[in-house]
Structure 1
Amino acid sequence: MIDHILKQLHRFAEAVAATLLAVIFAAFIIQIVLRYVFNWPVGWTTELSLAAWLWLVLWGAAFVLKDDEEIRIEILVDRMGPNGRRVLAGLGALCVIVFFGMSLKPAYEYVAFMKVEKSSYMGIRMDFTYSIYIVFVVAVLLRALRTLVRAIRGTLPAPRAPDAATTSAI
């Protein structure tokens, strides 16, 4: 039951990301047509593209990207046994929790302060535009907390074996 709900939420997150990508593409095409066909340069398309890109990157990192899809440099982790991996995963998660946790209050205060600013062309309040960062930080904190708990319990997923596409011949 829970797995089904989580899969549906993940599909929803992917749909939101796909919609944001479509918005960026549509705004880009509209900008080209208006500028080069009708000789009517507009700024709202750039503003919309930038806001959608910001949301796409942070939304995707928070809800679409899976733990095993993240880019990591695992030179030390690959040379460790299971206990060493647990220790490094726990330390890494603890660092993320501390540093992102320390940044949460100032980031929230900055986003809240931005309610006095509006975007130039579309008039969208900037606190709405930047609010996705707070969502991203909370998601990162929750994922790091999950990793820390898994490291303490010893229930970390097994490391993926490198496939042919990710290995290089030396």
Structure 2
Amino acid sequence: MQKLTTSSRLLKHARQLADAVPAILLAAMFVCFIIQVFMRYVMDSPVGWTVEVCVIAWLWILLWGQSVSATEADEIRFDIVYGSVGPEVRRWFRMIFSVFLVGIYMWSLPALWDFVTFMKIQETSYLDIPFNWVYSIALIFSVASILRYLWILWTAAKGQDAPATTAEAASRKDGVE
């Protein structure tokens, strides 16, 4: 029983760390924005590296957040259709959508790998970061998305319902169906 507790504790800490990455990057963007405003308007000497940090951080926030931090309940759905059908049809929607997305991501993965590894020949303008490091988040995004949608496919095929979205949970709490 102790192993299960330790394992679940490690999983909880890993989830918290994964969720902290976008928050840390957003804080870095804010600090860079303040530095840029100060340097431009107070010191009259704008710096370019802050813009570079903001663009890279924003790319990582979007792709990391969607692939690693977001849960299935956080995903955007066409609720008009999805919410108007029964649980069995929703389960089929999840399975079809998962197969479709896994196929697209797996099909594009070799070309994405080629692109990211090719980009090691260029560096960012100010910080001299190789672009393969900047774009490596696209590989993380693709692999994590493949694993996520395989998991969704597996749970849907086993007959499990999708987790309630925030809006669904709120409407149930208010007594609205």
The answer to whether the superposition gives a TM-score over 0.5 is yes
SS of corresponding position for 2:78: coil
What is the TM-score with the length of structure 1 in the denominator?
0.90
SS of corresponding position for 1:157: coil
Task: Answer whether contact 1:34 1:41 (CA < 8 A) is retained.
Answer: yes
Shift of 1:162: 5.6
What is the count of residue pairs matched by the alignment? 164
Range that drifts further, 32-41 or 12-21:
12-21
Shift of 1:53: 1.0
Task: Answer whether contact 1:86 1:151 (CA < 8 A) is retained.
Answer: yes
- What is the rounded CA distance, in whole Å, between the counterparts of 1:41 and 1:82 in structure 2? 56
Are 2:70 and 1:61 aligned? no
Q: Deviations over 1:112-136 (max 9, x none)?
A: 0000000011100000000001001
Shift of 1:138: 0.7
Q: Which runs of 5+ in 1 are unaligned?
A: 165-170
Q: Which runs of 5+ in 2 are unaligned?
A: 172-177
Shift of 1:93: 0.3
Shift of 1:86: 1.6
Q: Deviations over 1:38-96 (max 9, x none)?
A: 10011111001111111111111112111101111133322322221221110000000
- What is the rounded CA distance, in whole Å, between the counterparts of 2:75 and 2:65 in structure 1? 11
What is the TM-score with the length of structure 2 in the denominator?
0.87
- What is the rounded CA distance, in whole Å, between the counterparts of 1:74 and 1:3 in structure 2? 33
Which residue does the alignment assign to 2:18? 13
SS of corresponding position for 1:163: helix
Q: 1:36–1:77: structure 2 CA closer, same or farther, 3 Å change rule?
A: same
Which residue does the alignment assign to 1:154? 159
Q: 1:31–1:158: structure 2 CA closer, same or farther, 3 Å change rule?
A: closer
Partner amino acid, structure 1, of 2:145: V
For residue 105 of structure 1, the aligned residue among 107, 110, 133 is 110
Partner amino acid, structure 1, of 2:44: N
Partner amino acid, structure 2, of 1:46: V
Moved over 6 A (4+): none
Task: Answer whether contact 1:24 1:52 (CA < 8 A) is retained.
Answer: yes
Shift of 1:159: 4.1
- What is the rounded CA distance, in whole Å, between the counterparts of 1:109 and 1:99 in structure 2? 16
Shift of 1:5: 2.3
Report the identity percentage: 36
Range that drifts further, 155-164 or 1-10:
155-164
- What is the rounded CA distance, in whole Å, between the counterparts of 2:141 and 2:16 in structure 1? 18
